Amino acid sequence: MKVEKVCMVVEELVQQAGNLGMMASEDKVYSRNQLLKQLGIHDFIPDQEERIEADIPDILEKLADYAVEQGQIDDLLEEREQLTASLMNVFLPQPSVVNHRFYEKYEKNPIEATDYFYQLSRNSNYIQTKRIAKNIHYQTTSEYGDLDITINLSKPEKDPKEIEKEKQRKTDASYPLCLLCMENEGYGGRIGHPARSNHRLIRIPIKGERWYLQYSPYVYYNEHCILLAEEHRDMKIQASTFQRLLTFVEKYPHYFMGSNADIPIVGGSILSHDHYQGGRYEFALAKASLDYTFSVTGHPKVEAAVVKWPMTVLRFRSANKTELVQAADKVLQTWSNYNDDPRDIKARTGDTSHNTVTPIARRRKEQYELDLVLRNNRTNEAHPDGIFHPHQDVHHIKKENIGLIEVMGLAVLPKRLREELKEVENFLLGNDQDIDPAHLSWAKELKAKYGEQTEAEQAVAIVKTETGKKFLRVLEDAGVFKRDTDGQQGLESFINTMNRG
């Protein structure tokens, strides 16, 4: 790319940043010069005849291409991202300024504050909007409400040569300790650790501790945020967890906030750093109806119910946060030591604990709502991946952990399914196909059920519907007390045990 053209690309980036309110007009020349310096350009000679029409992610890609052409960086995904994050950092205020503006807006309305921060995170390309747009997303109906299905295509693929180069370039470093540490704020990145130059955190004091709010770079739902502890410590579900979740939704009532379970198999992907996930989205679980209500001994101000959901969910509601936390802790303490051998529930093996909960907090006008999803991570010979984990017959669709997001009714399915499900559609249409053997028996079942299809749209609709049913099966597998007569008797026994304690 000629210098004249790249100068025009730089100018377009400056112009767009200004249009988005990321830069005052007085900062235009300064910002341009900062970009030129990073790109090794010493003379600003834009080609006035060629106007660049592109959005910020595409502009950044062009500038990364130029840096590769000039030998300033290698053509590696992580080096490109280090450069583009650094370029966008030119337009971002320092963390203290971001926090000051956030809390100025918070004084008027918490929604104004989060709107500001979310838009900043999008505009700065920290939230990867262009990549997220590639994801496949749809809803499928079920007896429990509309379940969300997402095939995650946002994470870019690396070719083998790039992976090998990155292995050669990777350095031994332990700073920041993990991807969630607050020390990532402004970190330039390295091979093996993503760039965070354009990353900002909002300081959120909670119960005498410093916590930090950020958005997920690859949002799975609206305003998908992460709340992380300042201290790098293992995740642990305890009474203080419920207090923090409820305190957060008290401060930000338009968001829910929940936590992954704190043990392997049923927990999240990062158990080494205490953190929660929330956002501005109402999942199917939040809208689910109730099977029946029950009382919690000693807590008359707390409404309690069993939720109509494929997993085992107890819902508590109260205007009194203290009583709500105490009732939730009563469930946790009982469940942590609860055994039900006929239903394969054992609290521990030796010193290894198996029982925990996935908690989700919401604000309902003047009341607080807390869902506790009972979890168990035992394995056995029949189910080596987990007794209450997706069973082998649904692994062709989903075999990864069932974390907080899935629990609430959103399937995050692997990228491989984009092409694999197309072959299932071809099978239904009687076309030539290269179907994965893992899907073959399922595809035959679908053809027997629906017959051979003549319309591509109908084949697509069938596969979407039946994929949704597979996800429902995944959730049913993860339920500790099944929704049959025996399972519900087991759940009633647990509730009775809790109330006797």
Q: Which CB contacts under 8 angstroms, 24+ apart, belong to 493-501?
A: 493/340, 494/334, 494/335, 494/338, 494/340, 494/374, 495/294, 495/306, 495/314, 497/334, 497/338, 498/296, 498/297, 498/330, 498/331, 498/334, 498/335, 499/295, 499/296, 499/297, 500/297, 501/330, 501/333, 501/334
Residue 192 pLDDT: 86
pLDDT at residue 444 tops 90? yes
pLDDT at 54: 85
Residue 399 has a pLDDT of 93
Comparing 109-113, 158-162, 295-299, 479-483, the range with the smallest average pLDDT is 158-162
Cα 257 to Cα 458: distance, rounded to the nearest angstrom: 38
pTM score of the predicted model: 0.94
Residue 158 in this model has a pLDDT that exceeds 80 = no
Per-residue pLDDT for 169 more than 80? no
User: Residue 162: its pLDDT value, please?
Assistant: 65
Our CA angle for 128, 132, 135, nearest 5°, is 165
- Interstrand relation of 147-151 and 202-206 (parallel, antiparallel or unpaired): unpaired
Q: pLDDT at position 436, please?
A: 96
Can you give the pLDDT at residue 159? Answer: 63
Residue 411: partners with Cβ closer than 8 Å, 6 or more residues away: 147, 148, 149, 150, 398, 468, 471, 474
Query: Taking residues 323-329, what's their average pLDDT?
Result: 98
Using 50, 70 and 90 to split pLDDT, how confident is the model at 26? very high
Q: d(Cα 181, Cα 201) in Å, to the nearest integer?
A: 11
Q: Supply the mean pLDDT for the chain.
A: 95
At residue 161, does pLDDT exceed 70? no
333: left (phi over 0), alpha (psi -120 to 50) or beta: alpha
Q: Is the pLDDT of residue 73 over 90?
A: yes
Nearest one of 91, 148, 191 to 287, comparing CA atoms: 148
Percent of the chain with pLDDT over 90: 91
Would you place residue 231 in the very low, low, confident or very high pLDDT band (cuts 50, 70, 90)? very high
What tokens does 81 get?
């991202």
Model confidence pLDDT, tens digit, residues 258-291: 999 999 999 888 999 999 999 999 999 999 999 9
How far apart are the C-alpha atoms of 247 and 207, rounded to whole Å? 8
pLDDT of residue 62: 96
Average pLDDT over residues 233-255: 98
pLDDT of residue 269: 82
What does the pLDDT average to over 344-348? Answer: 97
Q: Per-residue confidence at 221, pLDDT binned at 50, 70, 90?
A: very high
- At 268 the pLDDT is 81
Specify the DSSP element, H or E, that contains 247. helix 239-251
Q: Please report the pLDDT score of residue 380 as a whole number.
A: 95
Contact 227, 191 (CB under 8 A): no
Closest CA to 191 of 77, 74, 78, 73: 78
pLDDT in tens, 384-394: 999 999 999 99
Least confident of 43-52, 75-84, 354-363, 417-426: 43-52
* pLDDT score of 168 more than 80: no
pLDDT for the residue 1: 74
Residues 21 and 23: their CA atoms lie apart, in Å, by 5
Provide the residue ranges of all domains of the chain, joining segments of one domain with +: 1-72, 220-388+479-500
**Are 421 and 427 within 8 A, CB to CB?**
no
